[in-house]
């Protein structure tokens, strides 16, 4: 079911500081910050040969990463996104296997304009997993 890792998302409290660390210490090439108000985050993309890193900073009052940053004030890995060929087949398989899909169970259009869903972290080794249809 899982294809390649589409991205690893890292929640950060301070995007300029995080960008400077990734640029300076790791030599990464970063995109400009991209505000995504409909997703409650500002994103900096780091494109690598085999995947992407997304640095996410909260945007607005009701950011989906605000609570994570309360618990992890330094930031940290927020989720891993895998590509899947058919998101509805993947969703039905997850439900059959006893995993909870967040929200109303229907895929939403994600930050890349493609259908995505999130699996409850308590049902996958304490890790928030995003699936994106390729
Ligand atoms: Co994501």
Instruction: Specify the 3-state DSSP secondary structure of 10.
Output: strand
3 pLDDT band, cuts 50/70/90, is: very high
Check residue 52 and give its pLDDT: 97
Coil, helix or strand at residue 27:
coil
For residue 86, report the distance from its CA to the centre of ligand 1, in Å.
17
CA of 130 to the centre of ligand 1 (A): 6
- What local confidence, expressed as pLDDT, does residue 110 receive? 86
Give the integer Cα–Cα distance in Å for 46 and 7: 9
pTM of the model: 0.93
Residue 109 gets the label, from left (phi > 0), alpha (psi -120 to 50) or beta, of beta
How many other CB atoms are there within 10 angstroms of residue 9's CB atom? 21
> For residue 108, how far is its CA from the centre of ligand 1 (angstroms)?
12
Per-residue pLDDT tens digits for 48-99 = 999 999 999 999 989 999 999 999 999 999 999 999 999 999 999 999 999 9
- In CATH, 2-133 is 3.10.180.10: yes
Position 112 scores a pLDDT of 86
Active site residue 130: yes
């Amino acid at each position: 079911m899982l294809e390649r890792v589409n991205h690893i998302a890292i929640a950060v409290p301070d995007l300029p500081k995080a960008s400077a660390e990734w640029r300076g210490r790791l030599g990464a090439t970063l995109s400009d910050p991209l505000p995504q108000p409909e997703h409650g985050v500002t994103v900096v993309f780091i494109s690598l040969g085999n995947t992407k890193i997304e640095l996410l900073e909260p945007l607005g009052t009701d950011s989906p990463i605000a609570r994570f940053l309360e618990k992890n004030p330094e930031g940290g890995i927020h989720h891993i996104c895998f590509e899947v060929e058919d998101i509805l087949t993947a969703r039905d398989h997850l439900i059959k296997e006893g995993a909870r899909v967040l929200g109303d169970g229907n895929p939403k259009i994600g930050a890349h304009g493609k259908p995505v869903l999130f699996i409850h972290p308590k049902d996958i080794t304490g890790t928030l997993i995003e699936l994106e249809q390729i």
